[in-house]
């Protein structure tokens, strides 16, 4: 708004004045130091115009006398600033401060480097050997999944950079930031190399390439640049002209190697020893480590000494790793029509199924009739137990709608189980065999007694335990009700096993408040699983 004569109101001018600063005063640099490196210091600062906290990378005065160092510093800011990607830290400004020192500002990432995360895990697993070198051990499942998730996002950043004509050339845990809320950033593009244009690049692709005007000086073409512990052989030999996007792929393989083993591919008492190992490509995944064969293969391909034998793009590496993580993307799919049987009770299993779309119903034959046990939806898995236990199917599955399912054949399932840690594969097979015998064992194991009138009496705790096991096996998950299924089907199933009537089974189950039974809706649910388990443990003197 303006006043008379077109002048701005004082309040408006005051607002505008609040964001006007001399260049030297615009950044509040009193926030403290974050990190210090050989060539620069990183400080926390506040941009007074936006009220935004930023990270400020300030070049050391001594290095500012070096053309090579200044070129590298400015080049890092300019290249990173052009790589606009969620996993590459944004650059805000490249400038000179009041003392004439170069700096650039970037997004402030609150978190830790991947190196710090790995060091904490190594310390927790006591991985330091007698020479002070890291020793080979493997992480637990959740730790490994978390690190592979970080690794996949690093792959995204590198793939994007390659598409813009840039190779990073120094991929390592120290240059990867992991934010407190899951953000992942690939940092430090100071020794990045421009890649030649690819045949077939269209004008749009060429226009999107990073404009690299501060090319390395001729004297750096045979200088070893990077970190030896993760270097490809061509990079370790100083063959800068031979370094390309596949050198980054080697370093990514080396990073995955460290995630899987707990130490980098090359380590030694000094830099010369490590560099010589890198030149000779002397990295070995020890055979005793519990690492899946597919992960071993991925690392082996990525870290091939011959660039032509490596993955030829990050996308290829990423596809193989994601395929391993999802464990079924490449399996065949089959379409079933409504009413079609996917598996039948009593048949010998030759495949397991992952439901992609549609709905199915699990049915069990009781007294000559197929009784519904539960409904399956997308993401549900069935049919695997009969394969692993080498036993007939214990129930049937029929399509309620048109269905698409992933088919996992017996040989593939066996191979994937073999790829697990040896003890885990054996454990799963034993569980499957035991599970397949549950119905037979519980039927034999239910204790009965004769009443004075000569009728059969069944221990109520045994009946409740059978109901618990049936719900845990066939019940559908409900966030409010817990495990639930058809009350009629459950009672019929138990009655068949123990020789009681359905009404008798229902009467026994009503004695336990841990079950919610709604006959009008034909539903029984497990309301208090822990409470039921505790009571059954107290009541039962034996186990099924």
Instruction: Say if residues 41 and 154 touch (Cβ distance below 8 Å).
Output: no
Instruction: Say if residues 393 and 349 touch (Cβ distance below 8 Å).
Output: yes
Record the tokens describing residue 162, joined without a space: 């390659």
Q: How confident is the model at residue 486 (pLDDT cuts 50, 70, 90)?
A: confident
Calculate Rg over the CA atoms of the chain. 32
pTM check: above 0.75:
no
Strands 341-343 and 396-399: antiparallel
CATH code, 149: 1.10.510.10
pLDDT digits (tens, 9 = 90+) for 269-311: 888 999 999 999 988 887 777 787 788 999 999 999 999 999 9
Task: Identify whether 170 is a catalytic site residue.
Answer: yes
For residue 440, what are the contacts with CB-CB under 8 A and spacing of at least 6? Answer: none
Mean pLDDT for 538-544 is: 52
Which one is predicted more confidently, 494 or 87?
87
State whether 226 and 120 are in the same domain.
Answer: yes
The answer to whether residue 337 is domain-embedded is yes
Q: What DSSP element (H or E) covers 140?
A: none
State whether 527 and 484 are in the same domain.
Answer: yes
State whether 150 and 262 are in the same domain.
Answer: yes
Domain around 281:
110-212+221-325
Q: Which of 170, 188, 248, 459 is catalytic?
A: 170
State whether 104 and 129 are in the same domain.
Answer: no
Q: Hunting for tokens 């393989």 — which residue is that?
A: 253
* Cα–Cα distance measured from residue 373 to residue 144, given in angstroms and rounded to the nearest whole number: 36
What mean pLDDT, rounded, does the chain reach?
81
The rounded percent of the chain whose pLDDT value lies above 70 is 79
Record the tokens describing residue 189, joined without a space: 């593009």
Burial of 440 (0-12, 13-18, 19+ CB in 10 A): exposed
Q: Is the pLDDT of residue 415 over 80?
A: no
What pLDDT, on the 0 to 100 scale, is given for residue 178? 96
Q: How confident is the model at residue 459 (pLDDT cuts 50, 70, 90)?
A: confident
* Residue 18 Cα distances to 11, 13, 14, 30, 46, angstroms: 11, 9, 6, 19, 15
| Residue at a domain's end among 260, 293, 325 | 325
Q: How confident is the model at residue 216 (pLDDT cuts 50, 70, 90)?
A: low
Which one is predicted more confidently, 403 or 426?
403
Mean pLDDT for 355-367 is: 87
What pLDDT, on the 0 to 100 scale, is given for residue 161? 96
For residue 78, what are the contacts with CB-CB under 8 A and spacing of at least 6? Answer: 94, 212, 213, 214
What pLDDT, on the 0 to 100 scale, is given for residue 329? 47
State whether 307 and 340 are in the same domain.
Answer: no
State whether 241 and 309 are in the same domain.
Answer: yes
| Residue at a domain's end among 325, 346, 378 | 325
The answer to whether residue 183 is domain-embedded is yes
What pLDDT, on the 0 to 100 scale, is given for residue 426? 52
What pLDDT, on the 0 to 100 scale, is given for residue 203? 73
Q: How many Cα atoms are found within 13 Å in the side-chain-facing hemisphere of 512?
A: 29
Mean pLDDT for 514-542 is: 79
The answer to whether residue 94 is domain-embedded is yes
* Cα–Cα distance measured from residue 344 to residue 359, given in angstroms and rounded to the nearest whole number: 16
State whether 100 and 167 are in the same domain.
Answer: no
Of 175-184, 300-309, 365-374, the one with minimum mean pLDDT is 365-374
How crowded is residue 507: how many other Cβ atoms within 10 Å of its Cβ?
14
Mean pLDDT for 332-358 is: 87
Q: How confident is the model at residue 393 (pLDDT cuts 50, 70, 90)?
A: confident
The answer to whether residue 169 is domain-embedded is yes
The answer to whether residue 272 is domain-embedded is yes
CATH code, 410: 2.60.120.10
CA 272 to chain centre: 35
* Cα–Cα distance measured from residue 169 to residue 409, given in angstroms and rounded to the nearest whole number: 42
- What is the count of structural domains for the chain? 4
Q: What share of the chain is helix, strand, coil (3-state, %, to 5)?
A: 40, 20, 35
State whether 166 and 272 are in the same domain.
Answer: yes
Instruction: Say if residues 299 and 253 touch (Cβ distance below 8 Å).
Output: yes
CA 391 to chain centre: 34
What pLDDT, on the 0 to 100 scale, is given for residue 352? 83
Q: Is the pLDDT of residue 268 over 90?
A: no
| Residue at a domain's end among 409, 435, 461 | 435
CATH code, 484: 1.10.10.10
| Beta-bridge partners for 35 | 42
State whether 19 and 55 are in the same domain.
Answer: yes
DSSP state for residue 453 in the 8-state scheme:
T
The answer to whether residue 544 is domain-embedded is no
State whether 365 and 386 are in the same domain.
Answer: yes
pLDDT digits (tens, 9 = 90+) for 35-81: 888 889 999 999 988 889 999 999 999 999 998 889 989 999 999 99
Q: Hunting for tokens 């841990």 — which residue is that?
A: 514
What pLDDT, on the 0 to 100 scale, is given for residue 224? 75
Which one is predicted more confidently, 485 or 211?
485
Q: Is the pLDDT of residue 332 over 80?
A: no
* Cα–Cα distance measured from residue 405 to residue 354, given in angstroms and rounded to the nearest whole number: 5
The answer to whether residue 64 is domain-embedded is yes
Q: How confident is the model at residue 199 (pLDDT cuts 50, 70, 90)?
A: low
The answer to whether residue 85 is domain-embedded is yes
State whether 431 and 447 are in the same domain.
Answer: no
Which one is predicted more confidently, 424 or 188?
188
Q: Which of 211, 248, 215 is nearest to 232 (CA)?
A: 248
State whether 255 and 190 are in the same domain.
Answer: yes
């Amino acid at each position: 708004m303006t006043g008379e004569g077109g002048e701005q109101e004082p309040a408006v001018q005051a607002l505008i004045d609040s964001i006007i600063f001399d260049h030297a005063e615009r950044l509040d640099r009193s926030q403290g130091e974050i990190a210090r490196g050989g060539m620069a210091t990183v400080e926390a600062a506040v941009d007074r115009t936006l009220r935004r906290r930023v990270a400020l990378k300030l070049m050391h005065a001594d290095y500012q006398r070096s053309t090579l160092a200044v070129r590298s510093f400015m080049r890092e800011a300019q290249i990173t600033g052009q790589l606009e990607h969620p996993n590459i830290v944004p650059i805000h400004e490249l400038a000179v401060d009041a003392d004439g020192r170069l700096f650039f500002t970037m997004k402030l990432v609150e978190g830790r480097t991947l190196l710090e995360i790995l060091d904490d895990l190594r310390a927790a697993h006591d991985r330091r050997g007698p020479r002070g070198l890291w020793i080979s051990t493997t992480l637990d499942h959740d730790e490994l999944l978390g690190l592979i998730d970080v690794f996949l996002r690093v792959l995204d950043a590198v793939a994007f950079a390659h598409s813009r004509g840039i190779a990073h050339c120094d991929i390592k845990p120290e240059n990867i930031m992991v934010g407190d809320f899951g953000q992942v950033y690939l940092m430090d593009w100071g020794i990045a190399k421009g890649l030649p244009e690819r045949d077939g690049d269209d004008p749009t692709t060429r226009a999107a390439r990073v404009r690299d005007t501060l090319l390395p000086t001729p004297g750096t073409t045979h200088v070893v640049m990077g970190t030896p512990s993760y270097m490809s052989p061509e990079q370790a030999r100083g063959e800068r002209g031979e370094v390309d996007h596949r050198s980054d792929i080697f370093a990514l393989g080396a990073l995955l190697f460290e995630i899987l083993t707990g130490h980098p591919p090359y380590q030694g008492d000094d830099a010369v020893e490590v560099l010589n190992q890198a030149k000779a490509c002397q990295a070995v995944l020890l055979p005793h480590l519990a690492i899946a064969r597919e992960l071993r293969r991925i690392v082996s391909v990525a870290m091939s000494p011959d660039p032509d034998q490596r993955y030829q793009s990050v996308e290829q590496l990423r596809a193989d790793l994601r395929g391993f993580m999802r464990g079924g993307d490449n399996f065949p799919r089959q379409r079933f029509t409504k009413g079609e049987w996917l598996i039948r009770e009593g048949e010998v299993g030759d495949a397991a199924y992952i439901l992609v779309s549609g709905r199915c119903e699990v049915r069990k034959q009781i007294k000559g009739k197929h009784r519904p046990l539960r409904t399956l939806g997308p993401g549900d898995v069935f049919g695997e137990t009969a394969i692993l236990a080498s036993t007939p199917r214990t129930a049937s599955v029929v399509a309620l709608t048109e269905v698409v399912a992933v088919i996992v054949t017996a040989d593939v399932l066996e191979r994937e189980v073999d790829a697990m840690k040896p003890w885990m594969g054996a454990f799963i097979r034993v569980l499957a065999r035991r599970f397949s015998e549950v119905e037979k064992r519980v039927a034999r194991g239910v204790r009965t007694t004769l009443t004075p009138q000569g009728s059969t009496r069944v221990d109520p705790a045994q009946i409740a335990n059978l109901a618990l096991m049936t719900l845990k096996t066939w019940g559908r998950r409900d966030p409010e009700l817990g495990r639930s299924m058809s009350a009629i089907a459950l009672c019929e199933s138990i009655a068949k096993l123990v020789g009681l009537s359905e009404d008798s089974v229902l009467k026994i189950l009503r004695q336990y408040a841990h079950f919610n039974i709604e006959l009008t809706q034909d539903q029984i649910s497990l309301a208090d699983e822990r409470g039921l388990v505790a009571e059954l443990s107290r009541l039962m003197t034996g186990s099924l």
